[in-house]
Amino acid sequence: MSEIITVSKTDMPYKILQSEMKKFADGIFRGKVPDAERLMSVFENSEIDERNLCVPLEYFNERKSFAERNSDYLKLTIDYSVTAIKDCLLRSGFSSDDITDIIFISSTGISTPSPDAFIINQLKLNKNINRYPVWGLGCAGGVAGIAKAKVIADSNPNALVALVTSELCSLTFLNDDFSKSNLVATSLFSDGVAAVLIKGDGLNFKKTNSERIEITDAMSRIYYDSTDVMGWEVTDAGLKVIFSKDIPTIVEDKLKPDIEMFLKRNDLKTDDIKNFVTHPGGIKVIDSYVRSLEIDPCNLDNTKYVLRKYGNMSSATVMYVLDRFICNGFTDGFGIMTSLGPGFSSEMVLLNIQSK
């Protein structure tokens, strides 16, 4: 059975208060977006206190080309990813030579070779390493990455998989996109990079963890006729956000039957889940989770904490939630990781957590 060993998240150098972000957005959107004054209330209603940014707000005062912003994305992604993997190795006792596979998840910048190639070069990872760059899953990418790591580690008991999620959402901001979607996205998204190590059951721990986090099962679901719900429109200026107001409704309608089906094939029910490692999306999505699954809101306290302190970091966010669970301690028993993203699709991973 594959296991999650450790997680390392990145605290970006710039912590921007939501009140500062609102003031910045007001200067951009007021008079340009219909009913902007009313829409600005989304900043207060987001239940976000501050955001994680890789660059200062002043960065956005000047219009930069897609090429300039993407160049910054690649440099910062490599730097933060290398640091996160090093931290995971230090915590786990493994060395860079032990890594057999690397999965790189992102949707906020592009590069060929993909960023994992640069990461491998900087860390001098094994020349025979297996590479799996994944682009375009958006917020669903983190849980999808765990699912992919499970497949790899289950097929090779001696595998040590490094999973990296890097989302520098702020670098996709378009100063001249005066759409409602861009205003809402500006109230929500931020930057995050995280690394996770997953091992096969034939590989012995170098250090002893207090908990055993087994990856028991995984499932993906895609919903027909919903490709326009979330994603990017690729323009000459860069990546223009597509963000439907229907996302919370879709979550509420689709999530419960999908999770129940997933749990049923493992002879479980929602009541059997002790740990909800959930990508927050936004506060409306969190509320939809609670209503749909009929769970105590306190089950999502770690999710709400990450949203409040960091904002939505796309695929990386769920790793910050996972890190929060590891730091605070799981409840022994089953856990479920969930996220939704462009497609429109959902990703689910079943965990079995036991104290050692």
Q: Which residues are catalytic?
A: 139
Is 25 in contact with 183 (CB distance < 8 Å)?
yes
CA distance 189 to 313: 6
- Measured CA to CA, the distance from residue 45 to residue 174 in angstroms comes to 23
Tokens of 228: 């326009």
Backbone angles phi, psi at 35, to 5 degrees: 60, 35
Residue 189 φ then ψ, to 5°: -90, 155
* Beta pairing, strands 3-9 & 211-222: antiparallel
Q: Per the structure block, which two tokens stand in for 146?
A: 């765990």
Going from the C-alpha of 6 to that of each of 96, 168, 206, 258, the distances in angstroms are 14, 22, 12, 28
Half-sphere exposure of 355 (CA within 13 A, CB side): 4
